[in-house]
Amino acid sequence: MAKLFSQPLVTESIKKNQHVRREAWSFYKIKKWRDNEGNHIQGKKLNRAVKRITNLCAVYLTHNVELGPGGKYGSGVFSLHSRISHSCVPNAYSSWNPTLERLTIHAIHDLKAGDKVFINYTGKVCRTRQQRAFSLSTTWGIVCNCVACTEPAIDQMRRRMLVIDQALAAYACGASRELNFSAIYGIPQISTAKEALEAAEELSQLFKRQRLCSMELCQAFRDCSMYALDAGLSDVALEYAGKEFDLEKLLIGTETPHLKEDLNGAKYWIEYIRNEIGCMPS
Ligand SMILES: [Zn+2]
């Protein structure tokens, strides 16, 4: 298997700020590190060792993936995973499973033998082409030519998704109650649970139209469910919670007792709704 490459911009920035080089140098020097023959590493050998560590850091920074949301379980490099290509319209989903202590990859559409597998490196779907292009080129040195990056109609949908996502986030944190909110931020103002439900429904439809399945769609279903509950529509709330549950199983499988820890999984959300509306669990 060919060696993992490092993104030239990353290597360049490591060389420029000298931090990694200094750390590596002190590591060998202060610990009086020895080579296989038992000799202290110094002179040319020390320089070569420092260069090796610097290159390894560049490979790590290019390929490391966060384990869990926000890197809750750390980060790591997985050689097979690093060889899967990127697409902004992926056919597979990868995530860290803390229960299995493995990085798992699930197909999100039916794949035929020989089909190329694609995952979304950036992890974010509600982004414009320019935002994705910036992140892909600076972190991985990639120019993406997928349908979302080449078809203006799809880019329009992604722009709309970003706007709705921001509007929902502002409603959730109360920022949309600010005076002249829409004029200041340029995103639609959501004032009631019913409006929030409509916005989250539109977002989930935009995901569907592009056959996009990701945790962001799970979140959109959760938003639909949550705001339906707030609006007194308990049947609708349960329906969307069921959709979230099905999608969650598709994306991360069923070996997920870790989701219970922070009551994060769709199953626990369904239990919560049933408890709220006084239903007995089926
Ligand atoms: Zn793309």
**Mind listing the pLDDT tens digit of every residue in the chain (282 residues)?**
678 878 787 888 887 877 877 887 887 777 777 777 888 777 888 888 888 888 888 888 888 899 988 888 999 999 999 999 999 999 999 999 999 999 999 999 999 999 999 999 988 899 999 999 999 998 888 999 999 999 999 999 999 999 999 999 999 998 888 878 777 778 889 999 999 999 999 999 999 999 999 999 999 999 999 999 999 999 999 999 999 999 999 999 988 888 876 667 899 999 999 998 886 555
What is the 84 CA–ligand 1 centroid distance (Å)? 14
What is the 27 CA–ligand 1 centroid distance (Å)? 41
Q: Which residues lie closer than 8 Å to 272 by C-beta, 6 or more apart?
A: 263
pLDDT at site 263: 63
What is the 127 CA–ligand 1 centroid distance (Å)? 11
Rounded alpha-carbon distances, angstroms, from residue 35 to 46, 78, 156: 10, 28, 58
What is the 136 CA–ligand 1 centroid distance (Å)? 9
What is the 239 CA–ligand 1 centroid distance (Å)? 32
pLDDT at site 134: 94
**Phi, psi (degrees; rounded to nearest 5) at 273:** -60, -45
What is the 172 CA–ligand 1 centroid distance (Å)? 29
- Domain map of the chain by residue range? 8-63, 80-276
What is the 212 CA–ligand 1 centroid distance (Å)? 13
What is the 145 CA–ligand 1 centroid distance (Å)? 5
What is the 155 CA–ligand 1 centroid distance (Å)? 10
What is the 151 CA–ligand 1 centroid distance (Å)? 10
What is the 185 CA–ligand 1 centroid distance (Å)? 27
What is the 142 CA–ligand 1 centroid distance (Å)? 10
What is the 109 CA–ligand 1 centroid distance (Å)? 18
pLDDT at site 149: 95
At the second CATH level, the architecture of 80-276 is Alpha Horseshoe (1.25)
What is the 92 CA–ligand 1 centroid distance (Å)? 14
What is the 144 CA–ligand 1 centroid distance (Å)? 4
Q: Residues lining ligand 1 (ion), CB within 5 A?
A: 88, 144, 146, 148-149
pLDDT at site 7: 79
